[in-house]
């Protein structure tokens, strides 16, 4: 009943349920294993309980319970979690936000409006495979 | 030993739940889509089912309806585990006879295990 092929694992943290479903479906079609969370709290609980950590985290900047900056700071508190690459997907083009996220070691800060979903998945794929984007 | 069937397409989450439940002494099986879950449920008759709603091949609501049509399935406790918080999904699944509807973000994985125990105790 379980698959043996090793897939890249993407944790998607996004509080818009319909968008989350669309991302998850696209990731699945592209051969990724997705684990979806609608809040930062849920994502942190999953990270504490997953047998294998995700290869990359797809993070919406604005979540209802925490913003991206606070979430990444939480990640950085745990050594194992701090190694997980993070791509922030945001509606905000503020340089301040972008720079503060990049200063925390976030791998990429992407503006939702500038890219199609497929293009963002290409970027997450490269980050998950350890390539520079 | 009580057997639990997890019907959940996110394998990482299903594995995490399985591990937690096994530590509490349950025997746990995972199905990663609705059709596989339905087949397993009707064949093996688990003591409780944890069911996701949004899944490929067959969605959770259809699985639930088909389980409830079965003589054994009419009584098995089914806990819905979903990211969907909209009222329509909740209403739809309650009409088909669910025992609990857990919005994933409101429940820690360890709390889900407690909820499973409660539902088995109430049988």
Give mean pLDDT, residues B7-35: 95
Residue of chain B nearest A4, judged by CA positions: B11
Which residues in chain A come in under a pLDDT of 70?
Answer: 1-5, 131-133
pLDDT computed for residue B100 by the predictor: 82
In a domain, A32, yes or no: yes
Residue B87 banded pLDDT, cuts 50, 70, 90: low
Any A CB within 8 A of B29 CB: yes
Could you tell me if residue A24 is inside a domain? yes
Phi/psi of residue A21, nearest 5 degrees: -65, -40
* B77 touches B48 (CB < 8 A): yes
C-alpha B61/C-alpha B57 separation (Å) is: 12
Please tell me the pTM assigned to this model.
Answer: 0.89
Tell me which residue in B83, B86, B110 faces A20 most closely, judged by beta carbons: B83
Taking a C-beta distance cutoff of 8 angstroms, is the pair B50, B116 a contact? yes
Domains and CATH numbers, chain B: 3-121 (3.40.50.2300)
With tokens 């301040």, the residue in question is A96
Nearest to B104 among A1, A42, A48 (CB): A42
B31 contact residues in A (CB cutoff 8 A): 1
Q: CATH number, domain at A77?
A: 3.40.50.2300
Q: Quick one: closest CA in B to A21, which residue? A: B54
The domain containing residue A39 runs over which residues? 9-128
A39 belongs to a structural domain:
yes
Q: What length does chain A have?
A: 133
One DSSP character per residue, A75-103 reads: HHTSHHHHTS-EEEEES---HHHHHHHHH
Question: Is residue A4 domain-resident?
Answer: no
CA distance B43 to B60: 18
């Amino acid at each position: 009943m379980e698959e043996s092929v090793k897939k890249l694992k993407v944790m998607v943290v996004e509080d818009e349920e319909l968008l989350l479903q669309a991302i998850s479906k696209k990731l699945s079609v592209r051969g990724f294993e997705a684990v979806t969370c609608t809040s930062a709290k849920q994502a942190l609980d999953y990270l504490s309980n997953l047998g294998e950590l995700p290869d990359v985290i797809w993070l919406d900047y604005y979540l209802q319970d925490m913003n991206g900056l606070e979430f990444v700071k939480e990640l950085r508190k745990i050594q194992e979690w701090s190694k997980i690459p993070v791509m922030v997907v945001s509606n905000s083009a503020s340089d301040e936000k972008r720079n503060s996220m990049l200063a925390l070691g976030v791998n990429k800060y992407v503006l939702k409006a500038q890219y199609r979903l497929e293009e963002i998945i290409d970027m997450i794929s490269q980050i998950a495979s350890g390539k520079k984007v | 030993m009580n057997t639990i069937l997890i019907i959940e397409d996110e394998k990482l989450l299903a594995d995490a739940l399985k591990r937690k439940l096994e530590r509490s002494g349950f025997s746990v099986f995972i199905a990663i889509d609705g059709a596989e879950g339905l087949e397993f449920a009707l064949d093996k008759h688990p003591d409780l089912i944890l069911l996701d709603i949004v899944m490929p091949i067959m969605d959770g609501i259809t699985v639930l309806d088909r389980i409830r049509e079965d003589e054994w399935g009419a009584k098995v406790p089914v806990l819905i585990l979903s990211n969907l918080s909209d009222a329509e999904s909740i209403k739809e699944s309650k009409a088909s006879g669910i025992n609990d509807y857990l919005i994933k973000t409101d429940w820690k994985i360890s709390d889900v295990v407690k909820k499973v125990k409660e539902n088995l105790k109430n049988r």
